[in-house]
Amino acid sequence: MNLSKTLKKVLQEKKDKILSEWFEVVIHAYPDDMAYFLKREKDAFANPVGQNIWNTIETIYKELLDSFDKEKIASGIDPLIRTRAVQNFRASESVKFVFSLKEIIRNNFDFKDEDGGKSLYQLERMIDEIALIGFDIYMNCKEKIYQLKANHERSQTMKLLEKANLLCECNNE
């Protein structure tokens, strides 16, 4: 998959504008106070979620223009999706931000002038592809969480109690 030269050029030129618009959309998935904090606090350690958002959208954008390497996209999108998987976002809400890029780019580029919408079609297919990668990661994260939940009790005590044959002792009833 590859974008037309003209589109790439425009996307390159308008990179800052598009990214900052995209960032706005992503942070407004959070309550206003939080959105403000995500934007204002620049220290990556005081504001890890804001940092994840920036890194994620930057990586995705770069890959759209560049080699569209699926592995790089996956590792780029991972931190943000991983965060959302523990933040009570539904799967759809967690991945929604990817689709919003379509609208933002469309507002910044006149596709009709270029090739009758062919490049738009191409671009949207690529963005869909990214979203699908995001869905997979979301599911993996959820599975991981359930696995951690299931392991919780065992990891607290069971291994050693079993070893020492003490299991009957820990029955509370």
Partner 1 sequence: MADYPTSKELIDNVNYKLPKKGWMDTPTTIRKGMYCYAGNPKSLETVGFPNARQWNPLDEDWKLPENWQEIIHNGFKERLENFRSFKIFMDICVRCGACADKCHFYIGTGDPKNMPVLRAELLRSVYRNDFTTAGKILGKLAGARKLTLDVLKEWWYYLFQCTECRRCSVFCPYGIDTAEITMMGRELLNLLGLNIDWIATPVSNCYKTGNHLGIQPHAFKDMLDFFVEDIEELTGINVAPNYNKKGADILFITPSGDVFADPGTYTCMGYLMLFHYLKEKYGLDVTWSTYASEGGNFGSFTSHEMMKRLNSKMYAEAKRLGVKWIIGGECGHMWRVIHQYMGTMNGPADFLEEPVSPITGTKFENAKSTKMVHIAEFTADLIKHGKLDLDKSRNDHIKLTYHDSCNPSRGMGLLDEPRYVIQNVCNHFYEMPPNTIREQTFCCGSGAGLNAGENMEQRLAGGLPRANAVKYVHDKFGVNMLGCVCAIDRAALPPLMDYWVPGVGVIGLHELVANALIFPGENKRTTDLRGEPLLGMEDEADE
**What is the nearest approach in angstroms of partner 1 to the Cβ of residue 51?**
8
Binding stretches for partner 1 (CB under 8 A): 21, 24-25, 28-34, 37, 41, 43-49, 51, 82-83, 85-90, 93, 96, 99-100, 102-104, 106-107, 117, 141, 144-145, 148-153, 155-157, 159-161, 163-164, 166, 169-170, 172
Beta carbon nearer to partner 1, 67 or 156 = 156
**What is the nearest approach in angstroms of partner 1 to the Cβ of residue 167?**
10
Beta carbon nearer to partner 1, 71 or 153 = 153
**What is the nearest approach in angstroms of partner 1 to the Cβ of residue 49?**
7
From first CA to last CA, the distance across the chain in angstroms is 62
Beta carbon nearer to partner 1, 4 or 140 = 140
Beta carbon nearer to partner 1, 5 or 33 = 33
Tokens (6 digits) for 83:
């965060």
**What is the nearest approach in angstroms of partner 1 to the Cβ of residue 33?**
5
Torsion of CA 106, 69, 125, 97, to 10 degrees: -60
CA–CA gap between residue 146 and residue 160 (Å, rounded): 23
19-22, long-range: CB within 8 Å, 24+ apart, which pairs?
19/57, 19/58, 19/61, 21/104, 21/107, 21/108, 22/57, 22/61, 22/97, 22/100, 22/101, 22/104
